[in-house]
């Protein structure tokens, strides 16, 4: 804040300065939000993706190690049961987490040309948490699977000092 | 210039399901870290990856900061015809990288 203390010229009184100070403090308080996804944030995001459609358990296999030493690179494989024909295929695969700074991990868009609804990538884990994979089918249904991962060395938020 | 590694089987039978693997060198800076004087390090990630088979899109991924540095992706496709499988990565700060591989389908 750059408030010039010159009551003669700007007409700034002690009161207006106090109000300005309080407003500044308020703005600072708003900025101190924890940069972390929460289980609720993940649920909200899942709701955004699926809308009103119920999410059923099953069809999705989520393969992550149960115990991770280094959260900076964790192998993640998602496979969805589907014949992958022109009429019945997996449209999208979403992966969400509860405790990284952002609830998203990855979203893949695929179609009948994939032949097999399976993908692998490597991701980061900021904490011990539950990972959820969600599959969107061509018929509009959603299927999910979850896995618990224990992390010893955390990623994402480590500082460079 | 980022280095990309692509693994596509050079030959396949028609209708065979093949696995494609890609790896690209990229820092994938999350935007949530701070440097040694406490200044936030700006986000610098790859945000999208797309794969086309003779011009037709077969696989596309939205990437988030949760993806590890040097993003690795493996996925599948049906070998339909001989041709080119092309890859495209786009990201922050105008990052853009392409790659391709030839496949012969018998």
Residues in CB range of A32: below 8 A, 6 or more apart: none
The C-alpha angle B42, B46, B49, rounded to 5 degrees, equals 165
A38 close contact with B: CB closer than 8 A: no
State the virtual CA torsion across B87, B92, B94, B98 in degrees, nearest 10: -10
Alpha-carbon distance values, A31 to A15, A17, A34, B21 (Å): 25, 21, 9, 41
pLDDT digits (tens, 9 = 90+) for B55-80: 999 999 999 999 999 999 999 999 99
Nearest-CB residue to B17 (from A115, A124, A160): A115
DSSP letters for A69-106:
EETTSEEEEEEE-----SSS-EEEEEEEESSSSSSEEE
Report CB contact under 8 Å: A120, B65.
Answer: no
A33 close contact with B: CB closer than 8 A: no
The residue ranking higher by pLDDT, B16 or A3, is B16
Tell me, what's the pLDDT at A145? Answer: 96
Domain ranges within chain A, ordered by starting residue? 1-33, 39-153
A111 close contact with B: CB closer than 8 A: yes
B44 close contact with A: CB closer than 8 A: no
Per-residue pLDDT of chain A (161 residues; tens, 9 = 90+): 445 444 455 555 666 666 665 555 554 444 444 456 788 889 999 999 999 899 999 999 999 999 999 999 999 999 999 999 999 999 999 999 999 999 999 999 999 999 999 999 999 999 999 999 999 999 999 999 999 999 988 876 666 55
The residue ranking higher by pLDDT, A105 or B35, is A105
B65 close contact with A: CB closer than 8 A: yes
pLDDT digits (tens, 9 = 90+) for A55-78: 999 999 999 999 999 999 999 999
Hey, what domains does chain B have and what are their CATH numbers?
A: 4-105 (2.60.40.10)
The residue ranking higher by pLDDT, A161 or B45, is B45
Tell me, what's the pLDDT at A39? Answer: 87
Report CB contact under 8 Å: B17, A107.
Answer: no
- Distance, CA of A110 to CA of B20 (rounded, Å): 14
B2 close contact with A: CB closer than 8 A: no
**Average pLDDT, stretch B12-30?**
96
How many of the other CB atoms lie within 10 Å of CB of B2?
15
A65 contacts on B by Cβ (under 8 Å): none
Tell me, what's the pLDDT at B47? Answer: 97
Predicted TM-score (pTM) of the model is 0.82
Return the CATH fold of A39-153: Immunoglobulin-like (2.60.40)
Retrieve residue B72's tokens: 């690795």
Cα-to-chain-centroid distance, residue A53: 20
**Average pLDDT, stretch B40-57?**
96
The interface predicted TM-score of the complex, written ipTM, equals 0.91
Q: Quick one: closest CA in B to A90, which residue?
A: B59
- Distance, CA of A126 to CA of A130 (rounded, Å): 11
């Amino acid at each position: 804040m750059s408030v010039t203390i010159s009551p003669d010229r700007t007409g700034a009184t002690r009161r207006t300065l106090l109000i300005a100070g309080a407003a500044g403090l308020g703005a600072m308080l708003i900025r101190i939000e924890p940069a972390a996804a929460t289980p609720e944030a993940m649920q909200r995001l899942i709701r955004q993706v699926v809308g009103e459609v119920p999410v059923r358990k099953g069809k999705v296999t989520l393969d992550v190690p149960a115990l991770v030493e280094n959260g900076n690179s964790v192998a993640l494989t998602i496979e969805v049961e589907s014949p992958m024909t022109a009429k019945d295929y997996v449209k999208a695969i979403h992966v969400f987490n509860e405790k990284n700074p952002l609830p998203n991990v990855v979203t893949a868009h695929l179609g009948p040309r994939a032949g097999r609804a399976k993908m692998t990538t490597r991701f980061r884990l900021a904490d011990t948490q539950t990972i959820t994979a969600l599959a969107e089918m061509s018929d509009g249904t959603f299927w999910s699977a979850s896995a618990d991962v224990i992390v010893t060395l955390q990623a994402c938020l480590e500082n460079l000092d | 210039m980022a280095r990309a590694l692509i693994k596509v089987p050079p030959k396949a039978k028609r209708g065979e399901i093949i696995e494609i693997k890609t790896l690209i060198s990229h820092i994938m800076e999350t935007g949530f870290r701070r440097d040694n004087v406490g200044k936030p390090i700006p986000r610098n990630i790859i945000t999208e990856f797309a794969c086309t088979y003779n011009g037709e899109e077969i696989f596309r991924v939205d990437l988030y900061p949760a993806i590890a540095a040097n993003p690795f992706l493996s996925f599948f496709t049906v070998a339909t015809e001989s041709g080119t499988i092309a890859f495209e990565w786009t990201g922050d700060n105008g990052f853009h990288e392409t790659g391709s591989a030839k496949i012969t389908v018998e």
